Amino acid sequence: MADAAPAPKDPATIRREDYRPPAWFIPEVELDFQLDLERTVVRSKLDVRRSKSAKADEPLVLQGDDISPTSVKVDGEARTDWTLVEGDLVLPLNGASHSVEIEVELDPSTNTQLMGLYASNDMLCTQCEAEGFRRITFAPDRPDVLSRYQVRMEADKAKFPVLLCNGDKVAEGDGENGRHWVQWNDPWPKPSYLFALVAGDLVANNDSFTTRSGKPVELNIWVRDGDLDRTGHAMKALKDSMRWDEETYGREYDLGLFNIVAVSDFNMGAMENKGLNIFNSRYILADPEVATDADFDGIEGVVAHEYFHNWSGNRVTCRDWFQLSLKEGFTVYRDQSFSADMGSAALKRIEDVRILRAAQFPEDAGPLAHPIRPESYQEISNFYTATIYNKGAEVIRMMNTLMGAESFRKGTDLYFDRHDGEAATCEDFVTAMEDGGEIDLKQFRNWYETPGTPRVTANLSHDPQTGTATVHLSQKIAQNGEKPKSSELVIPLKTALLDPETGAHQGEQLLLLDQTEKSFVLEGYRDHPVLSINRGFSAPIILESSQTAEQLAFLSAHDDDPFARFEAVQRLMTGYLTAKVLGTPVDRDIILHAVAKILGDKEIDPAFLAELLVLPSEAFLGDQMVEVDPQAIHDEREKLRGKIAVQFEKQFRKLYKSCWPGEFSLDAEARANRKLRNVTLGYLAASYTDDAAELAFEQYREADNMTAMQGALAVLSHLEAEERTIAFDDFYAKFKSNPLVLDKWFSLQAMSLRPDTVKRIDSLSRHPDFTLSNPNRVRALYGAFTGNQVRFHDLSGKGYQMIADMVIALDKQNPQTAARFIPQLGRWRRYERERSELMRLALEKIAAQPELSKDVSEQVHKSLA
C-alpha cells in the first residue's frame, strides 16, 4: 500500500520548523504620532532593504491587525496597488531598497484588548509584545527585524504634559493650539515588540545612578499625582538591580535615561520596552499601609526582572517566539538570584518551588503541556506560561549547578558578547554556555524539547559489611495522563547521606542521573544513613522515593539544607493527607511529633518556622492524586489543621504574642514576625477557640500595616461572625478609592471557604466597583476564586458556569486575559466523575460560542481534545 499523504497542515498553527529569515530588513524607522484619546494619527517612514537571500520580486509584507492605511507612499510617490491580506499590507516592490511611508488612524479609547496603543484612565500607553505593534502601524512585526527608531510625539500640552518614548529625548518644543512635541531617538536597534510610548499627566520620582564605568543615568518612575510617595521601594529596587547586574553578570546600563511608568490597566505584570519600562501599577506602588510584605517582594522582583531584560532580552533578543524562554527563563533565573541575594536565599528558594509546583507542574501534567521551546502555537500570547518562564528558569539553574558559578559566568559572558545586537535562539545560548564554560551540554539539550515533569525514583540500600550505601535512581515522564515513559534527561541531584543518629553528613554530592537508570555507590557508612536528595530542589522533578514517615520525620528535624527540611515536612504531611483521602490507615502521631519538634527547636528563625508550619495546599494535594476530590481533600486537610491547632494551642498563643513586630519596619526580623504572626493566627482560628474572631478582629483594628490587616481579614473571611462584616465594611470604606487595595477586598472574599462564596462572587460581580475592563480587578475576583479549590469546585457546578460566562463576556473585550482562565477548567480529566463532566460542559459552552478569539479558541480546543 502506498504511504498515506501527509495530513494537511492546519493554517492556524505556526511551527518552529517553518521559520524563514525575513525577506526585508528595516534598518531605520521614523514615526510621527499626533496623539489624542479618540483620534491618533500615526505616520511611519520605513527604510526597507531587501535581504540578499530574498527573491527579486518578493513583495513587502507588513503585518497589521485591525488597522487600515489612509495613505501609502513609496519613495515619495502615492501608491494604490497594495492589498490587505488577513490584515497584513502586501505591497509589490522591485529593487533592493526603498523608503515606504504609511499613515494610519487609530482610536485608542476603544482599544479594550490593551494591546497596541490604548487609553488607561486619561493617559495613552502602548503594549507591543508579542504582536501589538501591528495594531499601531504596519511593520515587519517579528523579533528578528531590528531597527533604529526616531519618534516624534505631539499632543495637547494640558492633557498630556508628559510625552515619553524609548531612548533619549533629543528635542522638544511647543506647537500651535496648545500642543507640544517631543523628539526621541533610540540609538539601539530593537525589534518592534520593544517599542513603547506614553502620554499623560504624570509626575516623577526622579533619581540617578552612576554606572561602574562612571556614566550617569537619570532614573524616573512616573505615576499619577498622589502616588509619588509610594514609589520609593521600586526606585530602591531599580538601583539595587542596576548594581547587582554589574557585579553579578558584568552588565552595565547603556542609555543616559531609564523611565518606568505605572499604569492601572495592564494585561500582565510589566514590560521591558527599551529605556521605557511600563508597569502594572501593582508592581510599583507600595507603602506599608497599602502593600503587604509579599507585595513589596513582588515589586522588587518585577522591577529587577524588567531591568535585567535590558541585556537578556533587549541587547540580545529572540529570533522568533519559539525562543521566548531564551529571554524569559534566563531573566526569571536572574531575578530569582537577585531576590535571593537581597533577602533570604532559603526562603526565596522555597517560594520559587512553591510557584513552580502551583503553576507549572499542573500545566506540564495537563492538555496544555509544552516544552520550554515549543514546536507550534496558534496564539503566542497563550505561551507566556509558567513552563516558558519558571521551568525555563529551572533549566538555567541546572546549568549553573552542573557548571559551577565560575564557568556559568564565563558562559553568560560569551553569550552576551557573541550575540550582542542580535536576535538569537535557545540553541545559541546553550552553545555559548558550552564554549564559554567548557562543558558538553549535548544531552542536557533534551530539556528544551521534552514536555512533562520527570518522575525520579530514588532508593537507598546499605551494606553494613562493606560500609557502602547505594543510591538507586531511575527516571520517567508522564505526559497528559498517559502511562509514564522512561526518559534520558540530565538530572542533577544534590544529595547527602545523613547519620541516622545525629543528622550529620560527610558533605553534599552532586549525583548526575543521565540514564534511564543509574546507581551510585558511596563508601564509608557504618550505619544505614538517611537519604536527603534533590537538596535545594536542584532539579525540577517529582521525587518518588520509598522513604518511610519515620525517615521524613527525621529529616524534618535534622536536615541542614533548609529546602530539604521544608520538603521533608511537606512530604510527611502530603503522605498522611493523601492516604486519609483514599481511606488508607495511616499514623497521625508521627506528624504531631514532627510538629512538636519543629515548635520546640529554638534554632529555627521565625520566618522559616512559619514556612514549616504551613500545610501543603489543597491544589498541591490534588496534584498528587490520580483522581481529585476537592471536598475530601479540603475536609482532611482542615481536620489535620484543626488537630495541630488544638494540640499546640498554647504554643501558638505564646508565639502569637511573642512575635508582635513592634513599630513597622521592612527589615527581615520584623517581616519574619509578621509572617509567623499571621500563620499562628490562622492556627488559633482553626483550634475552635471562641475568641478566634475577636483575636483576628483585634489584629485588624490595631494593624499599622497591610500584612497584618490582610492576615486578619483572611481569617475573618472564613468565619460566620459579625466581626467579619464589620471588618470587611470598614476595609471597604477606608480603601475604596485605592484600586490596588480594593482588589484585595475582592480577593479575600473570593478566597473565603464559606459555603456561600459562589453566591457572594456572583453578587460581587455586580458590585459598582467591579469591572471586566480592568485586568487586575478581574484577576482579583475570578482569579482568586479559581484558586479556591473547595468553592470553585462546588458540586453544583455553579463555579464552573460562572467562569465560563465570564470568559465568554471578557473574550469580546480582552481575549488575552480571558484565555488565562481556561487552564483551570482545562484540567477536567483529573477530577472525579461528576465534577469532571461539569467542567467539560463549561468548556463546551465556551467552545460553542460564535466568533471566539484565537486566544480562547486555542486553549479551549486543546483542552477538549
For 106-117, give the secondary structure using H, E and C: ECHHHCCCCCEE
Residue with cell 455553579: 798
Q: Does 305 bind ligand B3K (CB under 6 A)?
A: yes
Stretch that binds Zn ion, among 175-183, 321-329, 539-547, 830-838 (CB under 5 A): 321-329
Q: Smallest gap, in angstroms, from Cβ of residue 144 to Zn ion?
A: 18
How far apart are the C-alpha atoms of 57 and 7, rounded to whole Å?
31
Stretch that binds ligand B3K, among 231-239, 302-310, 459-467, 602-610 (CB under 6 A): 302-310
Residues in region 662-701 near ligand B3K by CB under 6 A: none
Q: Which is nearer to Zn ion, 331 or 538 (CB)?
A: 331
Q: Smallest gap, in angstroms, from Cβ of residue 368 to ligand B3K?
A: 16
Q: Which is nearer to ligand B3K, 197 or 365 (CB)?
A: 197
Q: Put the strands of the sheet holding 147-156 in their side by side order.
A: 77-78, 69-74, 97-106, 40-50, 24-34, 147-156, 179-190, 168-174
Count of CB atoms situated within 10 Å of the CB of 269: 14
Q: Smallest gap, in angstroms, from Cβ of residue 269 to ligand B3K?
A: 6
Residue type for position 801:
Q
Name 383's Cβ contacts closer than 8 Å, sequence gap at least 6. 321, 324, 370, 374, 377
286 within 8 A of 295, measured Cβ to Cβ: yes
570 within 8 A of 617, measured Cβ to Cβ: no
Residues in region 102-141 near ligand B3K by CB under 6 A: 129-130
Stretch that binds Zn ion, among 237-245, 280-288, 325-333, 454-462 (CB under 5 A): 325-333
How far apart are the C-alpha atoms of 347 and 344, rounded to whole Å?
5
> Pick from 141, 154, 297, 328: which binds ligand B3K (CB under 6 A)?
328
Q: Which is nearer to ligand B3K, 242 or 270 (CB)?
A: 270
Q: Smallest gap, in angstroms, from Cβ of residue 129 to Zn ion?
A: 9
Q: Which is nearer to ligand B3K, 188 or 648 (CB)?
A: 188
Question: Strands 509-513 and 491-498, how do they pair?
Answer: antiparallel
> Pick from 384, 415, 563, 800: which binds ligand B3K (CB under 6 A)?
384
Q: Which is nearer to ligand B3K, 224 or 305 (CB)?
A: 305
Q: Which is nearer to Zn ion, 301 or 437 (CB)?
A: 301
CA torsion, points 778, 781, 783, 786, in degrees to nearest 10? -140
How far apart are the C-alpha atoms of 458 and 438, rounded to whole Å?
30
Nearest residue to ligand B3K by CB is: 129
With CB under 6 A as the rule, give the number of residues binding ligand B3K. Answer: 12
With CB under 5 A as the rule, give the number of residues binding Zn ion. Answer: 2
Q: Which is nearer to Zn ion, 394 or 618 (CB)?
A: 394
358 within 8 A of 617, measured Cβ to Cβ: yes
Q: Which is nearer to ligand B3K, 101 or 328 (CB)?
A: 328
569 within 8 A of 581, measured Cβ to Cβ: no
How far apart are the C-alpha atoms of 226 and 323, rounded to whole Å?
40
Residue with cell 504511504: 3
Q: Which is nearer to ligand B3K, 495 or 817 (CB)?
A: 817
Out of ligand B3K, Zn ion, none, what residue 129 binds, judged by CB under 5 to 8 A for its kind, is ligand B3K
Q: Which is nearer to Zn ion, 271 or 552 (CB)?
A: 271
Q: Smallest gap, in angstroms, from Cβ of residue 298 to ligand B3K?
A: 13
Out of ligand B3K, Zn ion, none, what residue 384 binds, judged by CB under 5 to 8 A for its kind, is ligand B3K
Q: Which is nearer to Zn ion, 282 or 637 (CB)?
A: 282
> Pick from 40, 381, 570, 717: which binds ligand B3K (CB under 6 A)?
381
Out of Zn ion, ligand B3K, none, what residue 111 binds, judged by CB under 5 to 8 A for its kind, is none
Q: Smallest gap, in angstroms, from Cβ of residue 313 to Zn ion?
A: 7
Q: Which is nearer to ligand B3K, 269 or 642 (CB)?
A: 269
Q: Smallest gap, in angstroms, from Cβ of residue 90 to ligand B3K?
A: 26
How far apart are the C-alpha atoms of 561 and 549, rounded to whole Å?
19
The site map against ligand B3K for 258-287 (x = CB under 6 A) is: ----------x-xxx---------------
Helical packing angle, 630-647 and 649-658, nearest 10°: 80
Stretch that binds ligand B3K, among 305-313, 335-343, 497-505, 806-814 (CB under 6 A): 305-313
Q: Smallest gap, in angstroms, from Cβ of residue 847 to Zn ion?
A: 31
The site map against ligand B3K for 772-811 (x = CB under 6 A) is: ----------------------------------------
Residues with catalytic function: 306
Q: Smallest gap, in angstroms, from Cβ of residue 318 to Zn ion?
A: 11
- DSSP characters over 146-196: -EEEEEEEEEETTT--EEEESSEEEEEEE-STTEEEEEEEEEEEE-GGG--
How far apart are the C-alpha atoms of 628 and 831, rounded to whole Å?
5
Q: What is the DSSP letter of 474?
A: E
Out of Zn ion, ligand B3K, none, what residue 381 binds, judged by CB under 5 to 8 A for its kind, is ligand B3K
Stretch that binds Zn ion, among 31-39, 117-125, 197-205, 320-328 (CB under 5 A): 320-328
384 within 8 A of 332, measured Cβ to Cβ: no
User: Is residue 86 helix, strand or coil?
Assistant: coil
Strands (E), 302-389: 317-318, 376-377
Strands (E), 365-490: 376-377, 423-424, 454-463, 468-477, 485-486
Q: Smallest gap, in angstroms, from Cβ of residue 314 to ligand B3K?
A: 10
Q: Tell me the C-alpha to C-alpha distance, in Å, between residue 333 and each of 308, 360, 431, 760.
A: 10, 15, 18, 39
Long-range own/partner contacts, residues 791-796 (CB < 8 A, 24 or more apart): 791/752, 791/753, 791/755, 791/757, 791/758, 792/630, 792/824, 793/630, 793/631, 793/831, 793/835, 794/758, 795/631, 795/834, 795/835, 796/758
Out of Zn ion, ligand B3K, none, what residue 297 binds, judged by CB under 5 to 8 A for its kind, is none
Out of ligand B3K, Zn ion, none, what residue 130 binds, judged by CB under 5 to 8 A for its kind, is ligand B3K
Out of ligand B3K, Zn ion, none, what residue 268 binds, judged by CB under 5 to 8 A for its kind, is ligand B3K
H or E element, residue 341 = helix 324-342
Stretch that binds Zn ion, among 23-31, 329-337, 531-539, 582-590 (CB under 5 A): 329-337
> Pick from 306, 335, 352, 567: which binds ligand B3K (CB under 6 A)?
306
Out of Zn ion, ligand B3K, none, what residue 101 binds, judged by CB under 5 to 8 A for its kind, is none
How far apart are the C-alpha atoms of 122 and 238, rounded to whole Å?
27
The phi-psi region of residue 382 (left if phi > 0; otherwise alpha if psi is between -120 and 50; otherwise beta) is alpha
Q: Smallest gap, in angstroms, from Cβ of residue 131 to Zn ion?
A: 16
Q: Smallest gap, in angstroms, from Cβ of residue 306 to ligand B3K?
A: 5
Stretch that binds Zn ion, among 258-266, 326-334, 536-544, 746-754 (CB under 5 A): 326-334
How far apart are the C-alpha atoms of 66 and 77, rounded to whole Å?
25
Give the max Cα distance, the chain. 95
Q: Smallest gap, in angstroms, from Cβ of residue 332 to ligand B3K?
A: 8
- N-term to C-term CA, the chain: 30
Q: Which is nearer to ligand B3K, 329 or 630 (CB)?
A: 329
H or E element, residue 290 = none
Contact positions vs Zn ion (CB under 5 A) = 328, 331
Contact positions vs ligand B3K (CB under 6 A) = 129-130, 268, 270-272, 305-306, 309, 328, 381, 384
